[in-house]
Structure formats: structure tokens, C-alpha cells
Amino acid sequence: MSLVLAETKDAIGVIVLNHPEKRNALSEALIGEITAALEDFQARNIRAVVLRAAAGVKVAGLPATMSANCLTVVATRWAGAIRCVF
């Protein structure tokens, strides 16, 4: 099962977090799939992205075993490249 579903609608990228059994906690695997989706969107010149969760489950955040630095790295990498709407 993919942790992230990515699609485009009228030149807008949509990333859907799809790991409700873990309340969409931001694991390294999930962040890796988000990064891959953003790379694909950038290659296709998608300039706006909507990030949402599947099945009405909100994002639980980072697990205690994971550093917030990994999320900072992702945010820094994509800052200015793609407009993300949360």
C-alpha cells in the first residue's frame, strides 16, 4: 500500500497522506514518498500543491523516535520551488 497518493488537477498537485492506521504520522517512509511526489510535480512544472489526509484522519505529527530535522530538510529543499497549501 502506498503511504502517499499523488495526482494533479488542473496543474495543481494533490498529495493525499494515506496511512490512517498510523494516523498519518510523519515517518521517514512517508516523508520519502512526499518528497518523491514533489520531485515528480517539479519535473512536470506543477507550481502549487495541496496536502491533505485520506479518510478524514489528520496528521498525528512526528513519532517520538524521529527528529524534527528531517521535516525541516524537506521544507528547506522545496521552499520557493513549489507553493504548498496546508
DSSP state letters, 34-53? HHHHHHHHHHTT--EEEEEE
Mean pLDDT of all residues in 53-59: 73
Amino acid at 57: V
Cell 498529495 belongs to which residue? 15
pTM above 0.75, yes or no: no
Cell of 38: 514533489
Identify the residue with better confidence: 53 or 86: 53
Nearest CA to 5 out of 43, 47, 55, 79 is that of: 55
pLDDT tens digits along 19-54: 888 787 777 788 889 889 988 998 998 888 888 888
